[in-house]
């Protein structure tokens, strides 16, 4: 503390410690936040095809195709410790081979300040709905749910599943690949 | 050092300056945290803290007169003493140099 520069150094290091403390209290103020919300999901059109996935193997596999509606108000999830949301639509179903299959069909990043009141109609999926065999045709119970990561300034990266789901069944016949 | 002006503070001044800078930074930090919490913007917390740091820098970094009130009264140097020390220092240098030579051989 005897020269100008040592005083400046002490001031800056102390400020950084204080800033770390403030950030920690910011995390504490949102640590108990549940970040829950409701999503209304509906399917518009559901098809199943039987085509080879050349990226995996040459044998034919079931490929689901669907269009969906999504309505969810995610504005309440944002606070001063939430920078962005990563929301993703997951399909879950059971086959004879696997008790639980989970496939991410669609995702979206919503940054703070953007419109988080979602009202989407006739959305296509972002990713292919591949089954690892022939478990989709005639599957009676496929459940769609919406989940999200809350990306914080400081703290844990939480994964929350929204309440509200939609179950549907795939048709018993394959759709011709060319006919769409 | 790039600064030509005298930046000295006396001991009590140094202690007071450090204490004062801590108080200013913490107070602005707490105020900023509350403002950020109310407006739900953590960037406002950081801004207010930054203002506090600037104020603390202006108040406590330069050697203002209030930090130089209790300076120590050093004894003035005597001429004879300074001459003696230079002589002894020169002697020491010579002896150590001769020792090194012996070691090298």
ipTM of the complex: 0.78
Burial class (CB in 10 A: 0-12, 13-18, 19+), B35: middle
pLDDT in tens, A30-43: 999 999 999 999 99
- A85 found inside a domain: yes
- pLDDT tens digits, one per residue of B9-41: 888 899 999 999 999 999 999 999 999 999 999
Cβ contacts below 8 Å, chain A against chain B, sum to 70
Cβ separation A10–B33 shorter than 8 A: no
Give the per-residue pLDDT at A54.
82
As a whole number of angstroms, the longest Cα–Cα distance in chain B is 79
Residue A180 lies in a domain: no
Q: For residue B82, what pLDDT is reported? A: 55
Q: Does B24 reach chain A within 8 Å, measured CB to CB?
A: no
pLDDT digits (tens, 9 = 90+) for A127-156: 999 998 889 999 999 999 999 999 999 999
**Same domain for A41 and A28:** no
**Domain assignment present for A173:** no
Task: Tell whether A19 is covered by a domain.
Answer: yes
Whether A67 and A139 share a structural domain: yes
Does residue A135 form part of some domain? yes
CA distance B58 to chain A (A): 10
CB contacts of A23 in chain B (<8 Å) are: 42
- For B55-87, the pLDDT digits (tens) are 999 999 988 888 888 888 888 888 765 555 555
Categorise residue A155: left if φ over 0, alpha if ψ from -120 to 50, beta otherwise.
left
- Whether B1 has its CB under 8 Å from any CB of chain A: the answer is yes
pLDDT of residue B6: 73
pTM score of the predicted model = 0.76
pLDDT bucket at B97, cuts 50 / 70 / 90:
very low
Q: Which of B3, B4, B7, B35 to mutate to test the interface with A (most CBs of A within 10 A)?
A: B7
- Are residues A7 and B60, on separate chains, in Cβ contact within 8 Å? yes
Examine residue A27 and state whether it is found in any structural domain, yes or no: yes
Domain shared by A7 and A88, yes or no: no
Task: State how many domains chain A has.
Answer: 2
Q: For residue range B47-63, what is the model confidence (pLDDT) as tens digits?
A: 999 999 999 999 999 88
CB contact under 8 A, B29 and A29: no
Q: Is residue A179, in this structure, part of any structural domain at all?
A: no
Q: A residues 98-157 near B, CB within 8 Å?
A: 153
What are A61-79's pLDDT values in tens digits? 999 999 999 999 999 999 9
- Residues of chain A with pLDDT > 90, as a percent, come to 81
Q: How confident is the model at residue B105 (pLDDT cuts 50, 70, 90)?
A: very low
Nearest chain A residue (CA) to B46: A19
Tokens of A164: 């509200």
Distance CA B80, CA B77 (A): 9
3-state SS class at B10: coil
Are B18 and A7 within 8 A, CB to CB?
Answer: yes
The residue of chain B nearest to residue A80, with distances taken between CA atoms, is B40
Q: A171 Cβ partners below 8 Å, 6+ apart?
A: A46, A47, A48, A137, A138
Compute, in degrees rounded to 10, the torsion defined by CA atoms A80, A82, A84, A85.
-140
Q: For residue A85, give its domain range.
A: 34-168
Asked whether residue A67 is assigned to any structural domain, the reply reads yes
pLDDT, average across residues A93-116: 94
């Amino acid at each position: 503390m005897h020269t100008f520069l040592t005083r400046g150094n002490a001031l800056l290091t102390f400020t950084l410690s204080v800033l770390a403390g403030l950030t920690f209290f910011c995390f504490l103020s949102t640590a108990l936040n549940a970040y829950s919300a409701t999503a209304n999901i509906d399917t518009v059109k559901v098809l199943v095809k039987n085509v080879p996935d050349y990226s995996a193997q040459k044998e034919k596999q079931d490929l689901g195709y669907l269009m969906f509606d999504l309505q969810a108000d995610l504005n309440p999830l944002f606070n001063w410790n939430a920078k962005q949301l990563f929301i993703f639509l997951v399909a879950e179903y059971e086959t004879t081979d696997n008790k639980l299959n989970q496939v991410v069909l669609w995702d979206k990043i919503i940054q703070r300040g953007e419109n988080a009141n979602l009202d989407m109609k006739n959305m296509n999926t972002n990713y292919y709905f591949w089954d690892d065999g022939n478990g989709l045709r005639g599957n009676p119970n496929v459940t769609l749910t919406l989940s999200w990561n809350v990306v914080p300034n400081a703290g844990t990266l939480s994964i929350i599943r929204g309440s509200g789901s939609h179950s549907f069944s795939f048709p018993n016949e394959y759709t011709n690949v060319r006919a769409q | 050092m790039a600064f030509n002006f005298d930046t000295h503070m006396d001991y009590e001044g140094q202690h007071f300056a450090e204490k004062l800078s801590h108080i200013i930074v913490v107070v602005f930090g707490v105020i900023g945290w509350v403002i950020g919490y109310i407006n739900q913007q953590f960037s406002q917390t950081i801004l207010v803290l930054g203002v506090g740091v600037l104020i603390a820098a202006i108040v406590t970094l330069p050697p203002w007169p209030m930090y130089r009130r209790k300076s120590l009264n050093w004894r003035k140097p005597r001429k004879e003493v300074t001459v003696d020390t230079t002589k002894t220092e020169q002697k020491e240098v010579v002896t150590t140099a001769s020792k090194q030579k012996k070691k090298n051989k």
